[in-house]
Structure 1
Amino acid sequence: MTTHSTPPPDTTAITAITVENVRKRYGDRDAVDGVSLAVRRGEFFGLLGPNGAGKTTLVEIMEGLRQADSGTVRVLGQSPWPRNTALLPRMGVQTQSSAFFVRQTAREHLATVAGLYRHDRAAADRTLASVGLTEQRDVYVENLSGGQRQRLAIASALVHDPELIFLDEPTAALDPQARRDLWEVLRALKSEGRTIVYTTHHLDEAEALCDRVAILVGGRIAALDSPHQLVTAAGAPSRLLLPAGRIPVEDADAIPGVDRATVQGGSLVLETAAPGKVLRAVDALTGLDGVMTRTATLEDVYLELTGAAGEPAAHPHSTES
């Protein structure tokens, strides 16, 4: 119990962002509808959801780029709105539509951004290296490829060494190898104790990187927890994939423990909540050569929550933040 002689705990010491009952409406549509969450310091926090779910609006409210209609937001212990210039050096922001000094080289652009925050040109070189653009440092921004511009946008958010980083679809234009390279950059930033708030449509990426994720549907949080806990709570079936034709579908459907057997993409797919039991049965019938096992993933949870209609639903995955 809090008394006059016992001050309340200083949550800013452990919480980077606190959002309480935030709402934002455009016309007759609730873009953000009563969202509450807390992002811990040093946490890699993901915001997931279909297009129009409210992710970008919520992030812009956190960044101080947009005013909420109601509710409260605290970022690093301060209110980001009205535009709080004291927070700017402490935050790095990469948006979906980043602006560049296109008539400068990549290094000149980044040095200009670093200078705005009173950092030297060496910071530009270090950051270019961290995102894999050292070889393009003397290339004019207007001549960079789309993926290279995306990496430069991320470098612009990192060059002033912020403690809180907002990344909005950072790997959207990157090829698979560049995506994986950036993963290592992001993991290194987290290991340094930085807080990262991150939106993506790449669910494998969110599962690999995020400590916790919030899944937004229709402007509301439909689920909030670690990817592992969300997948575990979902109870989604595992899938065993066999070469098609090895076992007739009707025989596979009769195997004890198989919930459903279908043919998909040249494979016989067995859905089951008891993969060990089904594997033993398949081994006895035909052997395990060529059999693959796929466990439930964050994508299964996401698809269950978002659904075809895109409407929020009460769900046991939802937790208090």
Structure 2
Amino acid sequence: MAVLVTGGAGYIGSHMVWSLIEAGETVVVLDRLSTGFYWAVAPEARFYKGDIADRGLLRTIFSENSVDAIIHFAGSVVVPESVADPLSYYENNTVKSQALIAAAVEAGVRYFVFSSTAAVYGTQESNDPVVETAALRPESPYGTSKLMTEIMLRDASRAYDFTYTALRYFNVAGADPRGRTGQSTVGATHLIKVATETALGKRDRIEIYGTDYPTHDGTCVRDFIHVSDLTEAHLRALKRMREGGSSIIANCGYGRGFSVLEVLNCVRRVAGRDINVSYSPRREGDAVSIVSNPTVAFTELGWVPKHDSLEFIVKTALSWEENLDRMNSKIGLEGLAS
């Protein structure tokens, strides 16, 4: 059987493809290459260029490959952008996911792993690590669009022979320790990506949005997870469902948070150089503090993180950023985007 990875040319998706191949899986990738890169796809995977809402293309993929599972990464992920352009997020993240789910049900695909987000929680009343049963109060169209897809998956699993696992990511960062892929999107907004770019002189400064939050240093607090640990959680979710496990939702984080300023100080230490910082008011859609309680992932998936270290996350991100410079020089920006 084969696993279809949507968005498999993107940041997390490309790591997932490598992990699946190493696990002995047959992998099919569907990506329209709007933000992903063809070169990031492991050569052993079968690649289709196109949109996840293209029902004709999906029928072709399912007819040409014995797909029993989908791991769905494709979507838009920038919170401020979702606030400014909400309808595009509902179309790309929700409407198109509905088309993908419907095509999967039609084709008899039984297992579905969904790339969800901690943004579904928003700011909680308590500072305790958040559990999956916490109140769902997304503060951005991005978070709402993901929550709507979770609801569709829940209802589909009740109506059809269809099992899903929704993994609510906290802040994914870092890069493949073997240097095969990493966060390569031009203009990416992820904190550690931007900080490492600034440390290497690719940006002249990093912007901090808000220093008056009710946290220990006034900046937002987030739970960071290494991308390789995240892909391992997906592998375990897939294995569990194939062995008869029921549909579940699980947090993917380490259960401890770091503030924006703490992350920047870590990047300074690892890079051995200073970072130029400027300060701006709060952004709409940013929650104050979100830290995971990953107990469900530990107990239900048997997930054991291997890279629970902010320093390791930053080190691999920095190493990839330096590698990306060499790739830019060798291939050229046009080749990277093809």
User: What TM-score results when the alignment is normalised by the length of structure 1?
Assistant: 0.28
Rg larger in structure:
1
> Which structure carries more strand by proportion?
1
